[in-house]
Amino acid sequence: MKEIITYTLRENNKTSDIYYNEVTQFAEETKSNILGRMGKILEVYLNYIKQNQIEESRTIEEYAIEALMIGVFLLVYKDRAMNLNKYVQKFFVYLAYQREKGKYQKVVSDFIKGRLAVFMLPKEKAVKMENMYLMEQFSRLMEWLEASGDFKQEVIRLRAWSGFLHDKSAKESQSILEACIEAARWFDKRSVQKMGKYTVHIEDYVSKSYELHKGKEDIIFCSRKRLEYHLNMVGAEIMNQALRESFLKQKSKIVFLPRCMCQKSKNTCQAGYTPEGYICRHCEKTCPISQIAKLERIHDFKVYIIPHESDFKHGDAEKNKQTGIVGVACVLNLLSGGFKAEQMGFVPQCVLLDYCGCRNHWHRTGIVTEINIARLKQILGIHKPTENHKQQTVSLKMQKE
C-alpha cells in the first residue's frame, strides 16, 4: 500500500472506483442543495454577468461552486484576513507580481515569501466583528487571498462577485454573503460524512505543516484545511458534469499529466520537450504515464507531461475553443486548474491523482502517483478503438499483404 500523506481515493481498496461512485452522488446532492438555497441569487448574478458583459457566461452550476467557495473561504480565512496589515498585503501582492516575470524573479520571490510568510501573514486570531458587515470581511478576504499568491484563479472569479455585491445595497449584500456562509456550513458537516474517509490524514499533516514547510513558499498551500479538499473534490465533479456535453463535442482532446506520475526521475526520464509539453518516449514500460500514452494512438487524443502548473501556457484562446482537455492533478489544484483552463478557452474535465506524492510539496524523495485509468477513459468517452484507428490498422495490414 502506498504511503498516505494527506488524502487517498483508494481508502482500503485496490482502486478508486468506489470514490468516484460516491463523489458523483454527493456532487448531485451538493448541487441540489446549493441551487435550492441560492437559486434566485445565482440567476440574478448570471443576469448581472450577461448585462455587464463581465465574461462569456458560464453554467449556473459553475456559479454555484463559486458561491460555495465564497462561504468556505470566509469560514477558513476570515480571521487571518481581518488581521492582515495593509502594508504587508501590498508587499506580498508585489511579490506575487514579480514572481510571474521570469525564472530568476520566481526564485527570488519564493525565497522571500518562504522566509517571511509565517511571520508576516498573520495566524488565525479571532477578531470581534459583531458590528462589522460581511461585505467588509469579504473585501478583506479578497486582499488576503491575493496577498497569499496561492489563489490567483479564485481571485479572478471572486472579483466579479465583488463587483456584483458592491452593486447591491448593504442589506442585500449582507443577505447574499450570509447565504454563502450557511451553504458552506452545511457543506462542512455533510462533506465529512460523505467524503471524510478519504481525507482522514489531512488534519494530522496540517498540524505538522509549520515545521515541515517552515521557510518554504508553499507553507500556506500545504497547510490548507480539510474543508478545502472536500470543496475541490466535489466542486471539480460538479464542474465535470456541467461541462461534460460541451467537452465531448470538441474536435480534439488533450490529456495533461503531472511530472509526479513519471516512474523515472527527471534526469533519467527520456520524455521529449515540445512547446506544448513533454512527450512520453516509453523509456519505462511500467511507468503510469507510458500506460496512458499508449492509448493516445488508439483513441485519437494527445498526451503531454507538464512539470508544473505554471508551465501550462497554451495561449491562443480562439484556437483552444475547439479543444477539450483533461487535467490530472492532486486535489488542491483541481478547481484553480479548471478555472485557468476555461480562461484560456479550453473546455476542461479533470481526473484526480489517487494520492499525492510529488517532491515539490508533499514528500522528501517523491512517490510515483497514479490515476484511475478506467475513470480517464470514461471522461474521454472512449470504450473501444476509434474509426480512425481501425482504418489505420486496416491500411497497415493491406500494406503488409
Task: Pick from 58-67, 102-111, 272-281 the range whose average pLDDT is largest.
Answer: 58-67
Mean pLDDT in residue range 364-389 = 81
Task: Pick from 11-15, 186-190, 279-283 the range whose average pLDDT is largest.
Answer: 186-190
Mean pLDDT in residue range 383-390 = 51
Judge whether 231 and 335 are in contact, CB under 8 Å: yes
Q: What is the pLDDT of residues 109-127, one digit of tens each?
A: 888 888 887 666 555 555 5
* Confidence (pTM): 0.90
pLDDT at residue number 11? 86
pLDDT at residue number 393? 38
Could you tell me the residue ranges of all domains in the chain? 17-230, 250-393
Q: Is a pLDDT exceeding 60 seen at residue 400?
A: no
Locus of grid cell 480512425: 388
At 396, the pLDDT band (50, 70, 90 cuts) reads very low
Q: Is a pLDDT exceeding 70 seen at residue 251?
A: yes
Q: What is the pLDDT of residues 159-171, one digit of tens each?
A: 999 999 999 999 9
Give me 341's grid cell.
483552463
Distance between CA atoms of 66 and 367, rounded to whole angstroms?
Answer: 32
pLDDT at residue number 117? 77
Mean pLDDT in residue range 340-349 = 93
Q: What is the pLDDT of residues 128-148, one digit of tens each?
A: 544 458 999 999 999 999 999
Judge whether 31 and 61 are in contact, CB under 8 Å: yes
Judge whether 285 and 270 are in contact, CB under 8 Å: no
Q: How much is the mean pLDDT over the chain?
A: 87
Q: Is a pLDDT exceeding 50 seen at residue 390?
A: no
pLDDT at residue number 391? 47
pLDDT at residue number 320? 79
Distance between CA atoms of 322 and 335, rounded to whole angstroms?
Answer: 21
- In the chain, the percentage of residues whose pLDDT exceeds 70 is 89
Q: Is a pLDDT exceeding 80 seen at residue 51?
A: yes
* 123 dihedral zone (left: phi>0; alpha: psi -120 to 50; beta): beta
Task: Output the DSSP codes for 71-130.
Answer: HHHHHHHHHHHHT--HHHHHHHHHHHHHHTT-HHHHHHHHHHHHHHHHHHSPPP-----T
pLDDT at residue number 27? 97
Report the chain's terminal Cα–Cα distance, integer Å. Answer: 48
Q: What is the pLDDT of residues 204-223, one digit of tens each?
A: 988 887 788 888 888 888 88
H or E stretch including 322?
A: none
Judge whether 287 and 277 are in contact, CB under 8 Å: no
At 315, the pLDDT band (50, 70, 90 cuts) reads low
Q: Counting runs of H as helices and runs of E as strands, what totals does the chain give? A: 15, 4
Q: Nearest-CA neighbor of 276 among 307, 245, 298?
A: 307
Distance between CA atoms of 311 and 306, rounded to whole angstroms?
Answer: 6
Give me 238's grid cell.
460538479
The residue ranking higher by pLDDT, 268 or 400, is: 268
Distance between CA atoms of 325 and 256, rounded to whole angstroms?
Answer: 7
Q: Which strands, in side-by-side order, build the sheet including 302-306? A: 302-306, 252-258, 323-329, 347-352
Q: Is 118 exposed, middle or buried (0-12, 13-18, 19+ CB in 10 A)?
A: middle
Q: What is the pLDDT of residues 64-118, one digit of tens each?
A: 999 999 999 999 999 989 888 888 888 888 888 888 788 888 888 888 888 887 6
